[in-house]
């Protein structure tokens, strides 16, 4: 079996994110996670919310690590990762009533971020909820110097990366039929933004 990759940062932020997801996903049944990373979040959240079927996904190179976490957990309500590059992926329309992603928007290029919102809207049933965790700017301003420094480091590594303005994400969301309804502050100067897919019926 492949070795389980480990992120200390993911381990630290599980609890505050979980408290929000317990509320936001309380009536959900099928969740699509975009960018499952190491797989730690997926295993922790699926274990704590056993009413959910948690579908992992990521780029192919991360699948072995995600599978290692799933296999080692023995949890039954979590599915092996889908091959997912948001720039070209497709999903079964309306197959999920919730979606989650963590620390992806600042790593993807901005065009890919827009495509992620379109993909989420395709995946969700009307009334479905999308929770996105990470650092954000509001009104062009960072909420902490540490995030400004992090943004500069990201852009130095790759010019397409960078902490996103929540207002820009709202534009992508609205174009896809999603409306932001909540914006939680969580430790380490991060946030969880929550959008709902409009029910046009």
Residue 200, pLDDT above cutoff 80: no
pLDDT digits (tens, 9 = 90+) for 65-77: 999 999 999 999 9
- Helix/strand/coil (H/E/C) assignment for every residue in 128-188: EEEEEEECEEECCECCCHHHHHHHHHHHHHCCCCCCEEHHHHHHHHHHHCEEEEEEEEECC
Measure Cα distances from 196 to 11, 113, 119, 176, 178 in Å. Answer: 27, 17, 14, 11, 5
> What is the predicted pLDDT for the residue at 201?
59
pTM for this prediction: 0.96
| Structural domains of the chain, ranges and CATH numbers in brackets | 8-197 (3.40.50.150)
Strand partners, 129: 98, 196
Place 1 in a pLDDT band, splitting at 50, 70 and 90. low
CA-wise closest residue to 170 among 129, 117, 119: 117
Residue 25, pLDDT above cutoff 80: yes
Rounded to whole angstroms, how far apart are CA atoms 165 and 156? 18
> What is the predicted pLDDT for the residue at 4?
86
Q: Are 155 and 109 in contact (CB under 8 A)?
A: no
**To which H or E segment does residue 96 belong?**
strand 96-102
pLDDT digits (tens, 9 = 90+) for 48-63: 999 999 999 999 999 9
Residue 46, pLDDT above cutoff 90: yes
pLDDT digits (tens, 9 = 90+) for 104-154: 999 999 999 999 999 999 999 999 999 999 999 999 999 999 999 999 999
């Amino acid at each position: 079996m492949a070795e389980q990759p480990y992120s200390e940062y993911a381990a630290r932020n599980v609890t505050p994110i979980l408290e929000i997801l317990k509320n936001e996903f309380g009536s959900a049944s099928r969740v699509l996670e975009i960018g499952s990373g190491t797989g730690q979040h997926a295993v922790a959240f699926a274990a704590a919310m056993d009413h959910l079927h948690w579908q992992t996904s990521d780029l192919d190179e991360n699948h072995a690590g995600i599978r290692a976490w799933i296999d080692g957990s023995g949890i039954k309500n979590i599915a092996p990762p889908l091959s997912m590059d948001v720039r070209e992926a497709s999903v079964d329309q309306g197959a999920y009533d919730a979606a989650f992603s963590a620390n992806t928007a600042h790593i993807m290029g901005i065009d890919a971020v827009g495509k992620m919102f379109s993909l989420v809207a395709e995946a969700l049933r009307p009334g479905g909820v999308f929770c996105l965790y990470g650092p954000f700017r509001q009104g062009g301003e960072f909420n902490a110097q540490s995030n400004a420094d992090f943004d500069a480091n990201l852009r130095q590594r790759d010019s397409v990366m960078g902490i996103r303005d929540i207002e820009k994400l709202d534009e992508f969301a609205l174009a896809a039929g999603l409306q932001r309804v909540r914006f939680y502050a969580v430790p380490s100067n991060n946030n969880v933004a929550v959008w709902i897919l409009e029910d046009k019926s």
